[in-house]
Amino acid sequence: MVPPLVVGFDLDMTLVDSRPGIGAVLRELGSELGLELPVEQLTAQLGPPLDQMLAPHLPADRVGPAVDRFRALYPDLAVAATPLLPGAVEAVEAVRGLGGRVVVVTGKHEANAKLHVDHLGLAVDAVTGNVWGHGKGDVLAREGAQVYVGDHVHDVEGARAAGAVSVSVLTGPCSAEELTAAGTDVVLESLDALPAWLAGHVLNGRLADLEQRLRGLGSVLVAYSGGADSAFLLAAAVRALGAGNVVAATGYSHSLPQAERDPARAFAESLGVRVLTPDTHEMEREGYRANAGDRCFFCKAELLDVLSVLAVEHGLAAVATGTNADDVAAGFRPGIRAAAEAGAVTPLADAGLTKAQVRAASRAWSLPTWDKPAAACLSSRIAYGVEVSPERLARVERAETDVREVLAEHGLPARDLRVRDLGERGARVEVDADLATGPLAHDPGLAAAVVEAVVAAGFATAEVDPRGFRSGSMNELLPDPERWR
């Protein structure tokens, strides 16, 4: 697995504009010492440690006591007066949104640095102070930081010492030319630009990792459903290995909607790979038909049993699924456990690629599946505890087709639509939230037409869910999801 993302930030003039607060402390300190300190000059060159900043203005034996007094004055005079720089909150949130840790590594006295972080409500995981230049590298390396964001040439030095990517912002005293000469990797005007840069940087790194993993396989059979994840994996495998070393295999059974089959095959064939469509027989597995919380385990076990044999027959080194990093983090995924037990590999998840990153990369590669809605198998529409049968699956597929037609007739194409079979309680229709809370909520005739279409498909009763579509909503009905993990 890829190491977790860790991004380090300097504090003064990177996350916060410390000039007003430090200026207030320097003025008070100068007054107490009977000195006319050049406050504007000093605050324009923030970065070096405090003793270095004061040394030119005090006898050597007075620097240490002055530093101590500065730090004592600091909490009351500087913390409330120091604002965040533009983009600071969004930059921190961008790291956390990518599943990363945020560490602040600063030359500022650590206790005062923590006061700033707490006062401003920055969601950081660790704060280390009293380090400067090369010394920052030791802390960054210990924290596992891959990126360090700062405003000073000595921040570049710290990043280089840690082997981290150096990102410099132009909100401090150093110019782009100075930072570039110091060896920074990236120069940004401000933190406002960091989220977009970081998203691209992380995605590119994970794509490179994915390519390396696929190359290491040599050849692969992709468990290919035609959805966004498996389609992207298939395309990535072709890029890494060449079409001749990749095979797409789609299991055909009652649970795969007819409407998904031809588009899936067409996409795979457009990549130049062989397409296999073996029949799978999950319906013959008692655990699948019983439809308890672990139904997906039996479905995936059946699929992998079939595909593993095919991989051997075609001389392919591995069977790969389109499991992504979000799937692994979600926890309740019995199918993932079955695939792991069958020896399938999960290159997307292992490279740390999330669903959003799969879609972003698919779009960059001009894959038509980049914005394809989630298309879970038909059995996922049947409430746990209600036996799965070919008749029930066909009824669900028929109802969803008819509901789409009703909505289309009213000029309302649906992106995400599910008809949930609740057994004796009839059917529940989930559709895009904007449709559920808009037209379907305010047009009784339209809602009635949707219900009528579901009943005509074979359900005794039906209702439109006012909450709209929710992926995995059937899991809400499980009394103890942990049992099935």
- Number of other CB atoms surrounding residue 90 within 10 Å: 13
Average confidence (pLDDT) over 233-253: 97
The tokens of 166 are what? 């150096």
Distances (CA, A) of 381 to 113, 190, 237, 399: 52, 48, 31, 11
Q: Which domains does the chain have, with CATH numbers?
A: 6-14+83-201 (3.40.50.1000), 19-77 (1.10.150), 218-375 (3.40.50.620), 379-484 (3.30.300)
Phi, psi at 7, each rounded to 5°: -120, 130
For 321-375, the pLDDT digits (tens) are 999 998 887 666 788 888 999 999 999 999 999 999 999 999 999 999 999 988 7
Phi, psi at 274, each rounded to 5°: -70, 145
Instruction: Supply the pTM of this predicted model.
Output: 0.84
- Check residue 484 and give its pLDDT: 42
- Check residue 186 and give its pLDDT: 98
* H or E element, residue 110: helix 110-120
Distance, CA of 296 to CA of 299 (rounded, Å): 5
- What pLDDT band is residue 53 in, cutting at 50, 70 and 90? confident
- Whether the pLDDT of residue 481 is over 80: the answer is no
- Number of other CB atoms surrounding residue 299 within 10 Å: 26
Question: Nearest Cα to 2, choosing from 298, 250, 328?
Answer: 328
* 147, 167 Cβ separation under 8 angstroms: yes
For 64-120, the pLDDT digits (tens) are 999 899 889 989 999 999 999 999 999 999 999 999 999 999 999 999 999 999 999
Distance, CA of 358 to CA of 464 (rounded, Å): 31
3-state secondary structure of 255: coil
Average confidence (pLDDT) over 11-38: 90
For 385-398, the pLDDT digits (tens) are 999 999 999 999 99
- Outline where 193-316 has alpha helix (H): 194-217, 228-241, 258-270, 286-290, 295-313
Mean pLDDT of the chain: 93
The tokens of 316 are what? 């392919």
- Whether the pLDDT of residue 157 is over 60: the answer is yes
- What pLDDT band is residue 485 in, cutting at 50, 70 and 90? very low
The tokens of 367 are what? 């894959």
Average confidence (pLDDT) over 173-182: 97
* 289, 389 Cβ separation under 8 angstroms: yes
DSSP 113-161: HHHHHHHHT---SEEE-S--THHHHHHHHHHT-SEEEESSHHHHHHHHH
- Whether the pLDDT of residue 476 is over 70: the answer is no
Exposure b/e, 63-88, CB count within 10 A at least 16 = b: beebbeebbebbeebbbebbebbebb
- Check residue 483 and give its pLDDT: 52
The tokens of 404 are what? 């789409």
- What pLDDT band is residue 279 in, cutting at 50, 70 and 90? very high
Average confidence (pLDDT) over 423-445: 95
For 298-326, the pLDDT digits (tens) are 999 999 999 999 999 999 999 999 999 98
- Outline where 271-322 has alpha helix (H): 286-290, 295-313
For 197-228, the pLDDT digits (tens) are 999 999 999 999 999 999 999 999 999 999 99
DSSP 342: T
- Check residue 143 and give its pLDDT: 97
Average confidence (pLDDT) over 52-61: 89
